[in-house]
Structure 1
Amino acid sequence: MRHDGDMTEPSRHDLPELPTIAAAVRQIGARRFDFSREVAVMAVVNRTPDSFYDRGRTFALDSAVTACLDAASSGADWVDIGGAPFAPGPEIPADEESDRVVPVVEAVRAASDIVISVDTFRADVARRSILAGADIINDTTGLADPELARVVADSDASIVITHSLAAPRTPLASPTYRDVSIEVAEFLERRVERALGAGIPEERIIVDPGHDLNKNTLHSLELTRRLGPIVDLGYPTLVAVSNKDFIGESLDADRGDRVEGSLVAAALCIAQGARIVRMHNVRESVAAVRMAEAILGMRQPAYLRHNMGERND
């Protein structure tokens, strides 16, 4: 546990009913997580010239490495490194994607024991990234490529299985769902079975409902309200809500003005059982997550002084 301020274990009868998570205690790389009583903050670092949020700010190699190490210093538990945006656009060759992400993985791995994930749907990029030191493959296509599952199965890496419907980097103009939470959960359950069938053990599987990925704002809001069907699958649930369009459209807010909305969305997901939050604004996100953990009884406050028998000036 990383909460050095813990004084005692939270009283078990005071804890809210939390979901049962398969293999709640996870060893991911050099880090140990107990998802029954902690939430991990995943920082986003995109080595792309056209990422939707930072617009290429971390495209240069040294900028990307510095951003990863700054995230670690700010309290992030892991960094998610991407070399190709999800948004529709021209195909980026696998060699070019590898050239973007692998040097970042190597440099960060040499400098830190922070958990490293690589955001890719390509088996070859995943293989090279794992060899370079990545601990997790974050696949936004939900194992659309069966070879990717085999690459992960043949390693010690974990996999994030994300819900999305369209082929990589292709549009889905008008997605429709009868019940988005149920349909996303059913999709993820099928893809988890694919992962298990390929030999990936359940203790290395994480699921993500894919906010905004082939979904409109109403779908993403509904997923945020009703995360339960996804959490009930029993695997650690990751939510990537940070600065997404559903927040911008809900608040009429440009990309630079979505931090507060992102934190609220993340906190509501945590209250429903999300245990990993993928966020851009690391310092603010770490504080929000630690506060959510304290409110939910998952951790003790860093210290107790107010009305504890001492004079409060």
Structure 2
Amino acid sequence: MRPLVMGVLNVTPDSFSDGGSWADPDAAVQRGRQLLAEGADIIDVGGESTRPGAEPVGIDTELARVVPTIEALVDDVAAAGARLSIDTRHAEVAREALAAGATILNDVSASLEHVAGEAGAGWVAMHMLGEPGTMQDDPHYDDVVAEVRAFLVAAEERGRDAGADEIWIDPGIGFGKTFEHNWALLGALDQLVDTGIPVAVGTSRKGFLGAVLAEADGTDQRPGPEDRLEGSITTACWAATMGAAMIRVHDVRATVAALGAVATLHGSGGT
């Protein structure tokens, strides 16, 4: 059985990978339907960029971006047997989005467990060092794997105490981590899986993949976000092999196909 595939739907003008592509409401809805057709289990709607150095947006602006999109997609998502997720770090946005039809709160701040508990929604608790605007300013850990693991285990306990029954933990690849930290966390995903808490992973199109792809090509020119498919697919398959329960991606069709092949190999015993 393959992990759940969460398809990214950024309704922002400034996301790192596809900023502006789906900012128009009609384009966002069409993109959501496309992700469903490609096999997404979850559509993750985000109205505030959390790329490194991103500036925060006002609550009203974020609400105006995400709520109409969620409302427009509810019936299509239900018909496909899929789910809607709201990607936010603001309680007011989370509440409105969940009321509009989202059933998962993808929380990059790992601080909104009470909102998820109140709404009876799923909660994805992600680790981030600092804020999006500053998180890449020389991030430091004594032991990145141990520290992230401890943070996420504590988050899951808070979530249970707040009444959230469906929880995933996400190591936050690229959120307050150097490239070396990212690779260390990916290499030790089994230590997160071994907690018994479902693990979500998002590596899709991120900068550390551009660096390793450039190295593989023997060039100093790093490919842009939309040209990092090979690295995105490889790390998604690795996460699946290590036991991740959910993979957050931009390229849904290719990822679903690759994860299906991985699941087939596991089912056949690798022979």
Normalised to the residue count of structure 2, the TM-score between the two structures is 0.91
Which residue in the other structure is 2:10 paired with? 46
* Of 198, 218, 238, the match for 2:200: 238
- Correspondences of 1:1-313 after superposition (within 5 Å): 37-87=1-51, 88-113=53-78, 114-143=82-111, 148-201=112-165, 204-252=166-214, 253-297=223-267
- d(CA) in 1 for partners of 2:54, 2:34: 30
Higher relative contact order structure (alpha carbons within 8 Å, sequence separation ≥ 6):
1
- d(CA) in 2 for partners of 1:156, 1:223: 30
Aligned-residue sequence identity (percent) comes to 37
Preserved contact between residue 152 and residue 200 of structure 1 (Cα < 8 Å): yes
1:248-277 Cα distance to aligned partner (Å, 9 max, x none):
111123222210111001111111111211
Preserved contact between residue 117 and residue 135 of structure 1 (Cα < 8 Å): yes
Aligned length: 258
**Which ranges in structure 2 are unaligned for 5 or more consecutive residues?**
215-222
Preserved contact between residue 128 and residue 175 of structure 2 (Cα < 8 Å): yes
Partner of 2:13: helix, strand, or coil?
coil
CA offset at residue 182 of structure 1?
1.6
CA offset at residue 226 of structure 1?
1.2
CA offset at residue 298 of structure 1?
8.1
Which residue in the other structure is 1:31 paired with? none
Give the helix-richer structure, 1 or 2.
2
Partner of 1:111: helix, strand, or coil?
helix
Normalised to the residue count of structure 1, the TM-score between the two structures is 0.79
- Provide closer, same or farther for how the CA distance between residues 181 and 298 of structure 1 changes in structure 2, counting only shifts above 3 A: farther
Partner of 1:292: helix, strand, or coil?
helix
- Provide closer, same or farther for how the CA distance between residues 132 and 169 of structure 1 changes in structure 2, counting only shifts above 3 A: farther
Preserved contact between residue 41 and residue 289 of structure 1 (Cα < 8 Å): no
- d(CA) in 1 for partners of 2:32, 2:132: 25
- d(CA) in 1 for partners of 2:55, 2:247: 28
CA offset at residue 179 of structure 1?
2.2
* Runs of 4 or more above 6 Å deviation: none
CA offset at residue 111 of structure 1?
2.4
- d(CA) in 1 for partners of 2:160, 2:21: 38
- d(CA) in 2 for partners of 1:132, 1:182: 37
- d(CA) in 1 for partners of 2:171, 2:261: 23
**Which ranges in structure 1 are unaligned for 5 or more consecutive residues?**
1-36, 300-313
Preserved contact between residue 239 and residue 276 of structure 1 (Cα < 8 Å): yes
